[in-house]
Structure 1
Amino acid sequence: MQYQGVLRKMMTEIGDEVQYYLDMKTDFLNMNQLISKEIKLSFVTYECLNCHLEKKIYRQGYCQSCFFDIPQAADWIMRPELSKAHLDEEDRDLAYEKRVQLQPHIVYLANSSNVKVGVTRKQQVPTRWIDQGAHEAIEIVEVPNRYLAGITEVALKEHVADKTNWRKMLKNDIEDVNLVEWREKLKEYIPAEATEYFIESNIETNINFPVTQYPAKPKSLNLIKTPTYTGKLVGIKGQYLIFEDETVFNVRSNEGLVVNIQI
């Protein structure tokens, strides 16, 4: 079987075990069903996720001109504390910014390689945690806009990490922690503007990933430098495909690449 299409991050569905789906435009693959099968990945060309032109991808699946123009790639995406829609101030496209920024956001703790703080739109829970490869997570505050979530994250990351060690996450070199205790410990550092939104009582979410073999020394596949790769799929965690020879492929960081998948 052979499929071809532009890569976008895998869609996910939480359950006893996370289900992964890859949309290849004309085909829709349940990636869990491919575990234990040999897969051949081949780079074909580029396709910007915004303009859909065959242009080299710059960042986040976009060509360089789109990346510096469209609101989906503005600085406030990665740094929510820079959000200004609540002030009625435009960055690149005020209508888009209001639609995204002026909705409920969650500040959370997730444990993937270590305990980290993060921000996501409420509707992205638990998708965001799955994408990060977190095996447990918990909400800390639910605020009405992205700015409040951003300044809360900035305050809390003075006391807890805000990055995931992807190698440690993929090796499953992790330990279970009590995220309720972490939530209570960090409560005093929440900015005054967001204290009323603290979530007093909730429990952590546990996530199980479809992995039969974790890599001891994961090595990342770069399809641009190595245009063709063949390996046996042994698991999926976060947005990574894990192969038997300890090669790992981050689907999300390769968005915008047109690939051929042969099974």
Structure 2
Amino acid sequence: MTIYQGNIRKMRVSTDAEHHAQYQLPIGEQFIDMTPLLGKKLNVSFDNQINCVHCQAKTKKSFNQGYCYRCLTKLAQCDTCIIKPELCHYDAGTCREPSWGEANCLTDHYVYLANTGTIKVGITRHVSDAVSSRWLDQGATQAMAIMRVQNRLTSGLVETAMKEFIADKTNWRTMLKGQPDMVDLQQLKEDLITEIEDQLDEITEEYGFQAIDILDLPPVDIHYPVAQYPEKVKSINLDKELSFSGVLQGIKGQYWMLDGDRVINMRKYSGYYLTVETPE
């Protein structure tokens, strides 16, 4: 067995030319290539130590998937407007970290549609090589950027308008239960834009015609390394179950799927100090 130890971060994920997801788990100063471990047994234990993913301070409890309480209350990336971008308050002069907001919020964003088992609307800052890491983190099997907007606030306003007709959340249990039926995202895009035409007009009237650019991009099909989906999802909780072993049967989103219908959201445990044993 090969033994890795250290604080983990959310899995890094990329895609090849055919949009097959490839995963790495950051642990300490190393990276575990996860995709080749499909079908292999893993042993994982939690050493009861959590370090904030931002300041590295020890913390008894993790907030927002890896932050200590102080960082939760101080960092702009942990503010409420990150979850609800329509509440962006940079222009009010109350941004927690204006320089961070300028670099991350006052830049182009993309509004997208995704099939994660249910159809959802979302926003992302990057669509690299036609695929956003956010789509991969959410386990989307289909996705399509439909608008480019001028900043995070505008993306939130558009998303809020669309939420009257489509969900903005991923049902992780549904996402893990199998390959969803294909959906005509292009037709859905056209239908949604028609439904919110008045709201889009109001946004451009207030923020200018450059605020929203409707895109004409094809949908992307994404493939995940899954040999077998769980029939009945059983979630592993490291705060209660300090160790587990199992055969890795698939990876989708930020979840490992193990034998016995067990799953674990690795992103949830960012900052946890783990020992991971893998076959040589």
Q: Which residue number corresponds to residue 13 of structure 1? A: 14
SS in 1 for 2:256: strand
Give 1:256 deviation, angstroms. 1.6
Paired with 2:200 and 2:89, the residues of 1 have a C-alpha distance of: 18
The amino acid that maps onto 2:65 is: Q
Q: Which residue number corresponds to residue 93 of structure 1? A: 97
Q: Which residue number corresponds to residue 112 of structure 1? A: 116
Between 1:41-50 and 1:22-31, the stretch displaced more is 22-31
1:39 aligns with 2:45: no
Q: Which residue number corresponds to residue 25 of structure 1? A: 28
The amino acid that maps onto 2:6 is: G
Paired with 2:274 and 2:4, the residues of 1 have a C-alpha distance of: 8
Identity %: 37
Paired with 1:141 and 1:248, the residues of 2 have a C-alpha distance of: 34
SS in 2 for 1:48: coil
> What is the aligned-residue RMSD (CA, Å)?
1.6
1:121 aligns with 2:122: no
| Matching of residues 147-166 of structure 1 within 5 Å | 147-166=153-172
Give 1:37 deviation, angstroms. 0.8
In structure 2, runs of 5+ residues without a counterpart are none
Q: What are the superposed Cα offsets for residues 98-149 of structure 1, whole Å, 9 maximum, x if unpaired?
A: 1111111001000012110001113574100000000001112101100000
Paired with 1:60 and 1:82, the residues of 2 have a C-alpha distance of: 21
Q: Which residue number corresponds to residue 64 of structure 1? A: 69
Paired with 1:132 and 1:46, the residues of 2 have a C-alpha distance of: 24
Matched residue count: 262
| Matching of residues 118-197 of structure 1 within 5 Å | 118-123=122-127, 125-172=131-178, 174-188=180-194, 189=196, 191-192=200-201, 193-194=203-204, 197=212
Q: What are the superposed Cα offsets for residues 145-168 of structure 1, whole Å, 9 maximum, x if unpaired?
A: 000000000000110011111111
Paired with 1:255 and 1:28, the residues of 2 have a C-alpha distance of: 14
| TM-score of the aligned structures, taking structure 1 as reference length | 0.95
Q: Which residue number corresponds to residue 84 of structure 1? A: 89
The amino acid that maps onto 1:39 is: L
Give 1:255 deviation, angstroms. 1.1
Paired with 1:107 and 1:211, the residues of 2 have a C-alpha distance of: 28
CA contact (8 A) 1:90 1:97 kept: no
